[in-house]
Structure 1
Amino acid sequence: MRAVSDSQGELAALRRALELQVDQGQVLEAIATCKAILAILPGDEQTLETLDLLYLNGAPSDLGTSLSDARAEGHEEEDAPLDSLLLTEVVPGAQSVQMADAQPGRINEIPIELTEEAPGEAVIDLRLDQQPVPDSPEDLAAAQVVSLPTPLDAGARKTTVAGARGASLRQELANTPLFGDLDPASLHTLIRRIRVVTLEAGQVLFRQGDAANSLYVIVEGAVVPIAEGERRRKLAVLERGEFFGEIGLMAKQPRNATIEAIVPTKLLAIDRRVLWELIAKEPSVAKSILRFLRARLIDRQMRTNPFFAAFAHAEREAVARQFRILEVKGGTRVVEQGKPPDGLFVVLSGTLVQIDRKNDKEEGELHSGDVFGGLSLLDDRPAPADVVTREKCWLVVLGEGRFRRILEANPALARVVRRVSGEKRVGKPEPLVKGL
């Protein structure tokens, strides 16, 4: 009898919380609360109606019957990393591009933008005259963690304008990375399969070295990524609306930091197999996922890589849109020693090797999050080594033409980059947080 009474009290509290969250447009909290209600009372019509507010076309919700293990529905998706996709077969419109001495078809640009870029589109303003540039990598890291806007900051500004009680779930959902970029049917599947994870203060979500297969978004509370070693280093504080763990979607790589809650925290977890389900049902979803991963990669570079310090105060989406996505076959030369590179590259997935052909010597490997080509472009000098893919790779590239236009529009860029990068090789960055 007491158990029934406790459940009824919990349901009443959850319903009151949900009403407030809907009224204030707190979409992440509303999703988590709906899942909690349906775990107690599957098929609750009032809760399902609330979830239906999220779908632009009013797609019927079946969350009440879908909260158990997804295998009960017969889904046995491959749990492979997303980088096993062959994008040229999944995303329509891929085009071969010429770089270095690569043969046609070896390097392909993957179109992912929602609209074509307008001719003469304005070059982004890096706002270099508005903020001082830190003198050291340590100062840079501290400044970037504090100064870079987060999804919560953006949401807070919108709520202030629209009025806290008048904000709609759909409006916030549309401004939430990944969620807002999906069609209604795919969004329905994603919310149906999402997991809610709760952590107590001090509880560890995963440890450095653990296997990775999920992405997380913080609903409430805060976590800290910790670099393990002889001396544990806390790298940042991640709060509401922030994503982490995308490396678990991309590749079979272990977690490169421990995640620990610093206060009671609630998360939404998106498992890799869920995205496979979305892509299987609607291949165009791959474009949305790639836009999200590109934005996350560039955002991470602006937070952690000295070369990108000059981009830290620009509008992040505008910066991300300057970069194209390339799929490159294994054994392909992307940068040719002795010639200028074709752009500033960031590795999204896969492994490349730097080779000094003159001395027939490998100089090192490049992995997810590593950057190359930038200083050679900046100094207008030839590349000091070949860069060759060991396997199929996904890269994001700021082409030489766009790089030059940004330089022209932001004369202080060269000075800022040299100041924070010094003589350090761009191919060997030392990021503080590299995808978790």
Structure 2
Amino acid sequence: MAFVAESDRIFVLEQGRVAESGTHGQLMASQGLYRRMWDKQHGFALSKSGHAQVEGSRLGRLPFFREIEPIALQEISRLFVTERFEAGVPVVEQGEEGDKFYIIVRGKVDVVVGAEERKKVAVLEDGDHFGEIALMHNVPRTASIVTQSPCICLALEREDFLPLLTRFPSICESLEHSLRIRNQRSAAL
């Protein structure tokens, strides 16, 4: 998407129709679909060897890290490790212990629920994340995540993350607040 920023005119398609058009600057200023896609896909560095990194400022755009001070976000960003998955393999299985949080750097995954009859409930792609509850609580996964394409993910293990909570209490408060809001929304559905 970096090369697209240099184009004279950009057309953004949604469901086969032109949703927006303009220069990179115009589309970024409009805060529409293009801006959301741009923000989702930026803030990652991917080396030629396939090693990924996430910037602290990119973590700060996630709802549960939004209120965390920049120095803490930088420390968190250094704890992520790169994990690669081939197409058609599970990243996590419903019911297993959740001990990692993931950000998809490149690729696409299906979110699947059910043991006997598996049902796809969502698709996640570049810039999306899953498993944030695993950073705070040892609870079973509520869904399986299966790769649609080869994926490069960044993973943060709970045991690496927990020591930061004593140094930066705002992390715990922010995560717990975000989880409460998410649970309230789920209960309302």
TM bracket (short chain): 0.5 to 0.7
Segments of 5+ residues of structure 1 without an aligned counterpart are: 1-80, 82-193, 211-221, 236-243, 251-274, 276-284, 426-436
Q: In the aligned structure 2, how far is the partner of 1:315 from the partner of 1:409?
A: 9
Segments of 5+ residues of structure 2 without an aligned counterpart are: 15-23, 184-189
Partner of 2:122: 364
Q: In the aligned structure 2, how far is the partner of 1:234 from the partner of 1:355?
A: 28
Q: Give the count of matched residue pairs.
A: 165
Q: In the aligned structure 2, how far is the partner of 1:390 from the partner of 1:246?
A: 19
- CA distance change for structure 1 residues 311 and 338 in 2, over 3 Å: closer, same or farther? same
Contact 2:133 2:179 in 1 (8 A): no
- CA distance change for structure 1 residues 245 and 339 in 2, over 3 Å: closer, same or farther? closer
Contact 1:353 1:389 in 2 (8 A): yes
Q: Any idea what the Cα deviations from partners look like across 1:192-251, whole Å, max 9, x if unmatched?
A: xx9xx6x9xxxx7534349xxxxxxxxxxx94613447xxx988xxxxxxxx78959x9x
Q: 1:342 aligns with which of 99, 112, 115?
A: 99
Does residue 1:328 correspond to 2:90, yes or no? no
Partner of 2:160: 402
TM-score w.r.t. structure 1 length?
0.32
**CA drift at 1:372:** 0.8
- CA distance change for structure 1 residues 370 and 295 in 2, over 3 Å: closer, same or farther? same
Which structure is richer in relative contact order (CA contacts within 8 A, separation 6 or more)? 2
Counterpart residue type for residue 326 of structure 1: E
- CA distance change for structure 1 residues 392 and 357 in 2, over 3 Å: closer, same or farther? same
- CA distance change for structure 1 residues 419 and 320 in 2, over 3 Å: closer, same or farther? same
Calculate the aligned-residue CA RMSD, in Å. Answer: 3.8
Q: In the aligned structure 2, how far is the partner of 1:315 from the partner of 1:411?
A: 10
Does residue 1:351 correspond to 2:108, yes or no? yes
Partner of 2:139: 381
Higher strand proportion (structure 1 or 2): 2
Contact 1:311 1:319 in 2 (8 A): no
Q: In the aligned structure 2, how far is the partner of 1:327 from the partner of 1:392?
A: 8
Contact 2:101 2:134 in 1 (8 A): no
Q: In the aligned structure 1, how far is the partner of 2:139 from the partner of 2:122?
A: 20
- Superposition pairs for residues 3-402 of structure 1, below 5 Å? 206-209=10-13, 223=25, 225=28, 226-228=30-32, 247=41, 286-287=48-49, 290=51, 294-296=53-55, 299-302=57-60, 304-314=61-71, 316-358=73-115, 359-402=117-160
Q: In the aligned structure 1, how far is the partner of 2:132 from the partner of 2:31?
A: 27
Q: In the aligned structure 2, how far is the partner of 1:341 from the partner of 1:246?
A: 24
Partner of 1:422: 180
**CA drift at 1:346:** 0.4
Counterpart residue type for residue 182 of structure 2: K
Q: In the aligned structure 1, how far is the partner of 2:57 from the partner of 2:41?
A: 14
- CA distance change for structure 1 residues 420 and 394 in 2, over 3 Å: closer, same or farther? same
**CA drift at 1:295:** 3.0
Q: SS of 2:71's equivalent? A: coil
Partner of 2:20: none
Q: In the aligned structure 1, how far is the partner of 2:163 from the partner of 2:73?
A: 18
Counterpart residue type for residue 301 of structure 1: L
Q: SS of 1:379's equivalent? A: coil
Q: In the aligned structure 2, how far is the partner of 1:321 from the partner of 1:205?
A: 37
Q: SS of 1:418's equivalent? A: helix
Q: In the aligned structure 1, how far is the partner of 2:51 from the partner of 2:40?
A: 11
Contact 1:354 1:364 in 2 (8 A): yes
**CA drift at 1:356:** 1.1
Q: In the aligned structure 2, how far is the partner of 1:417 from the partner of 1:333?
A: 26
Q: Percent identity?
A: 19
Q: In the aligned structure 1, how far is the partner of 2:13 from the partner of 2:83?
A: 29
**CA drift at 1:331:** 1.7
Q: In the aligned structure 2, how far is the partner of 1:390 from the partner of 1:338?
A: 21
